[in-house]
Structure 1
Amino acid sequence: MSSNLNPYAYLQNEIIPLKSAYLHVSDLAIQRGYGVFDFFKIQNSTPLFLQDYLTRFYSSALMMGLEVPLSEREITEVILELIQRNEMPESGMKMILTGGYSANGYDPAEPNLIITQHSLPMPTEQQVNNGIKIITAEYIRELARAKTINYSMGIRLIQQVKSKGADDVLYHQNGVVTEFPRSNFFIVKQDNTVATPAQEVLMGITRKNVLELAAKRYNVEEAEVTLQDIANAKEAFMTSTTKRVLSIVEIDGRPIGNGKVGEVSKTLLQDLIEFEERQIEE
């Protein structure tokens, strides 16, 4: 992946060297973990599906009572300038909006907007070809529709995931599954219906794209998905900006379907890659 040892970032109305980008300790992101963010992919120096990500970013800010200090046009201009300055044609870009410098460490103040560009971690060839293993944990994110910076549960579960030889953790409540800390979840039923949880999940941009692509080939459902549904499923996979479509072959030590990467998952991954390429051409 492309990398720049001295990249630029946007902070408080300025584009400055990343090494000089700091927040004061009074910011609510530090004091209370209060803020929202979004992350999108730069491919061939093109921000993919940027309008979708901006729409979600502004929606998350609204749900958290934060005002983005730039218009969509202005933030797009900053993004394009960072892409030009940083010369990282294959990368990721993160927008963070914090609760601002709070006088009492609790009340929100004028939000701080930060935009940074990074190298882009993608699944390994082995993960794509062989799939990944997951475990489950009982938890539902507060205000799931907002992409907040609060990842406390996911981070706290990292050691448990590793100790069980897994790659990620799927949240559920009373057997009804929702999402991963950083990805959406899908199953493929025995009749090739592609289903994904509808409630208490972040509306992922890759999730939306995969649903649209899948609808051209299969029946699709946004509905309740249970742990029992996974046990009966033919395939399962996760979706996200960095994961694209990544097959899941084992859950809590039990194989999903035949325990191998399925044809529907493979097909949707290829469809998504081609869709991204068309976006760049356009």
Structure 2
Amino acid sequence: MSSTHKLYAYLHEEILPLESAYLHVSDLSIQRGYGIFDFFKTLNGQPLFLEEYLNRFYASALLMGLQVPLSEEELTATLTQLIQMNGLIDSGVKMILTGGYSANGYDPGPPNLIILQQPLTMPSEAQLATGIKVITHDYVRELAAAKTINYTVGIRLIQQIKAKGADDVLYHQNGVVSEFPRSNFFLVKEDGTLVTPAREILHGVTRKNVLELARKKYKVEEGTITLEDIAQAKEAFMTSTTKRILPIVEVDGKSVGNGKPGTVSLDLLQDLIALEEAQIRAL
């Protein structure tokens, strides 16, 4: 993207230049870290799986007691207008709903809706070819079913992740695995069964798509995964909007399987790319 490319954002019922989009310091997202968000991508200027992301956005707002100020139809129209104005071919679009301006720094006010759009960064060919390394941390997100803006633990662990030569951190509680700060987790057992955690997770849209694709050709389970299961696994990978499917080759310094991206992971990645391309053609 050219450094002179002008970007726009939505805030306070209007679309305005990105550099002019500000919140007042009384907003609960600033005062208390209270709010929710969701994120989807556009390819060739078209939003992918938008209905699923909007459904999750409204569901997260409900769980947090926040009222989205636009109806789904109004929000869709606003997103369409913003995407057209920004003119980014491949991008990430983030919708943020804050706790609103608070008179006492604790009680919520009318929520503020913010929409941002930025160029999209996807995994490199090198990452897909070599896979990534992760560490683990004993932690479960509060209200995991809601996509809140609280990423305190994940961000606090960034230095530790880098110090150990890893790329991300996988949460578990007493050895039972849940998710990454921004991704879902899958593993492939020695018998070829694909398994993903079912509890204490955010139900990712990419996770849902991968499960539907996998059920067409593999045995699939949603259940409990332990750290011991990872030690015995044949493959592992993460899923997210921006990462699609990213193979995991090492956990806490120990190789997963043969320490290389697995055939199931790479096979499902091609299926997911084909699904995305099919949706773009259908739009």
TM-score by length of 1: 0.99
The sequence identity of aligned pairs, in percent, is 70
- Distance (Å, rounded) in 1 between the aligned partners of 2:66 and 2:59: 10
Indicate yes or no: 2:15 matched with 1:15. Answer: yes
For residues 1-282 of structure 1, the aligned pairs below 5 Å read 5-282=5-282
Letter in 1 for 2:165: G
User: Secondary structure at 2:225's aligned position in 1?
Assistant: coil
What RMSD, in angstroms, separates the aligned Cα atoms of the two structures? 1.0
Q: Assess, with a 3 A threshold, how the Cα gap between structure 1 residues 30 and 223 changes in structure 2: closer, same or farther.
A: same
- Distance (Å, rounded) in 2 between the aligned partners of 1:164 and 1:37: 30
Q: Which runs of 5+ in 1 are unaligned?
A: none
Letter in 1 for 2:135: I
- Distance (Å, rounded) in 1 between the aligned partners of 2:216 and 2:265: 14
Letter in 2 for 1:99: G
Letter in 2 for 1:160: Q
Q: Assess, with a 3 A threshold, how the Cα gap between structure 1 residues 74 and 3 changes in structure 2: closer, same or farther.
A: farther
- Distance (Å, rounded) in 2 between the aligned partners of 1:231 and 1:175: 12
Q: Assess, with a 3 A threshold, how the Cα gap between structure 1 residues 4 and 46 changes in structure 2: closer, same or farther.
A: farther
User: Secondary structure at 2:140's aligned position in 1?
Assistant: coil
Letter in 2 for 1:111: P
User: Secondary structure at 1:245's aligned position in 2?
Assistant: strand
- Distance (Å, rounded) in 2 between the aligned partners of 1:164 and 1:121: 24
User: Secondary structure at 2:96's aligned position in 1?
Assistant: strand
Letter in 2 for 1:275: L
Q: Assess, with a 3 A threshold, how the Cα gap between structure 1 residues 93 and 3 changes in structure 2: closer, same or farther.
A: farther
- Distance (Å, rounded) in 2 between the aligned partners of 1:4 and 1:50: 29
Question: Could you tell me how far 1:5 is from its partner in structure 2?
Answer: 3.2
1:20-73 residue CA offsets vs partner (Å, 9 max, x unmatched) = 000000000000000000000010110000000000000000000000000000
TM-score by length of 2: 0.98
- Distance (Å, rounded) in 1 between the aligned partners of 2:280 and 2:191: 34
Q: Assess, with a 3 A threshold, how the Cα gap between structure 1 residues 2 and 59 changes in structure 2: closer, same or farther.
A: farther
Q: Assess, with a 3 A threshold, how the Cα gap between structure 1 residues 7 and 279 changes in structure 2: closer, same or farther.
A: same
Contact 1:2-1:90 within 8 A present in 2 as well:
no
User: Secondary structure at 2:89's aligned position in 1?
Assistant: coil
Q: Which runs of 5+ in 2 are unaligned?
A: none
| Deviation larger for 179-188 or 119-128 | 119-128
Letter in 2 for 1:119: P
- Distance (Å, rounded) in 1 between the aligned partners of 2:158 and 2:77: 37
Question: Could you tell me how far 1:124 is from its partner in structure 2?
Answer: 1.4
1:175-221 residue CA offsets vs partner (Å, 9 max, x unmatched) = 00000000000001111111000000000000000000000010111
Letter in 2 for 1:264: V
- Distance (Å, rounded) in 2 between the aligned partners of 1:120 and 1:164: 27
Question: Could you tell me how far 1:128 is from its partner in structure 2?
Answer: 0.7
User: Secondary structure at 2:136's aligned position in 1?
Assistant: strand
- Distance (Å, rounded) in 1 between the aligned partners of 2:71 and 2:152: 30
Segments ≥4 residues shifted beyond 6 Å: 1-4
1:99-132 residue CA offsets vs partner (Å, 9 max, x unmatched) = 0000000000000000010011111111011100
- Distance (Å, rounded) in 1 between the aligned partners of 2:118 and 2:229: 37
* Number of corresponding residues: 282
Contact 1:4-1:87 within 8 A present in 2 as well:
no
- Distance (Å, rounded) in 2 between the aligned partners of 1:42 and 1:245: 17
Letter in 2 for 1:38: D
